[in-house]
Amino acid sequence: MKRSEINAVIREFEAMLEAYRFALPPFLRFSPAEWAQKGRAYDEIRDNALGWDVTDYGMGRYDQLGLALITLRNGSVKDSRYPKPYAEKIMYLREGQLSPNHFHWYKMEDIINRGGGDVVFRLWNATEDERLAETEVSVCRDGCRLLVPAGSEVVLRPGESLTLFPRCYHQFTVRAGGGPALIGEVSMCNDDNTDNRFYEPLGRFPAIEEDEPPYRLLCNEYPPCREDA
């Protein structure tokens, strides 16, 4: 992705958050120059990848295959300095975009439609060899347990949520005609380096063409901390 495209997506995301009165913590407003001055007090943000995240999954087709998200809080199952057993995200998905089919080995999560267009999921169980099973999928929508056919649609309207269990393949998009969606996630700890299994081989973070300076740093771009700060 071009840096200019990432900057534009972040500004678009900020505008939707403002429209829905979703206030962000101060660190998400830091400029790259401000990040260069931050010391050890901000290690939790750096080490647990809190912050802005815009991805095209390495495919260069962000308008069709992409997602913008913010990790607001996150713990670590590997580092005792960060004992939170939970994570929270807010995501922004345009009409026509797909978040591709994947599951998590360990993470259980609730996905919440916070506002905007209807979010359409397709769900499958994973077989032992990580293919798509033909069996019914057990999910929970706002406290109501459902069994849905493999690959069928489950629609979340604004305010609705879906609990997804480990090894449940899921992909989601926004129904045409309703505009972009603001999507929340409340989950167990998030680890994008080890806990994602994409059905088709994909990258997690984009290769970036630096055609203009960054507006915000992404969560994998923070500079080393200032030891004297």
8 A C-beta contact, residue 199 and residue 100 = yes
Domain count, the chain: 1
**C-alpha dihedral over 87, 88, 91, 97, to 10 degrees?**
40
DSSP letter for each residue of 114-150 = EEESPEEEEEEEBPTTSSB--S-EEEEETTEEEEE-T
Residue 47: which CATH number?
Answer: 2.60.120.10
Quote the pLDDT of residue 5.
98
Quote the pLDDT of residue 203.
87
Q: What is the residue range of 194's domain?
A: 3-198
8 A C-beta contact, residue 172 and residue 121 = yes
Distance separating the N- and C-terminal Cα atoms of the chain: 33
Residue 155 lies in a domain: yes
User: E strand or H helix at 32, and its extent?
Assistant: helix 32-35
Residue 50 lies in a domain: yes
58 vs 65: CA distance, rounded Å: 9
147 burial via Cβ count (<10 Å: 0-12, 13-18, 19+): exposed
Residue 173 lies in a domain: yes
The encoded tokens of residue 40 equal: 């050890």
Residue 229 lies in a domain: no
Spell out the residues 6+ positions from residue 222 whose beta carbon is closer than 8 angstroms to its own: 35, 45, 46, 51
Task: Tell me the pLDDT tens digit for each residue of 148-168.
Answer: 999 999 999 999 999 999 999
Residue 129 lies in a domain: yes
Residue 217 lies in a domain: no
Residue 206 lies in a domain: no
Residue 223 lies in a domain: no
pLDDT in tens, the chain (229 residues): 999 999 999 999 999 999 999 999 999 999 999 999 999 999 999 999 999 999 999 999 999 999 999 999 999 989 999 999 999 999 999 998 999 999 999 999 999 999 999 999 999 999 999 999 999 999 999 999 999 999 999 999 999 999 999 999 999 999 999 999 999 999 999 998 899 999 999 988 899 999 999 999 999 999 988 776 5
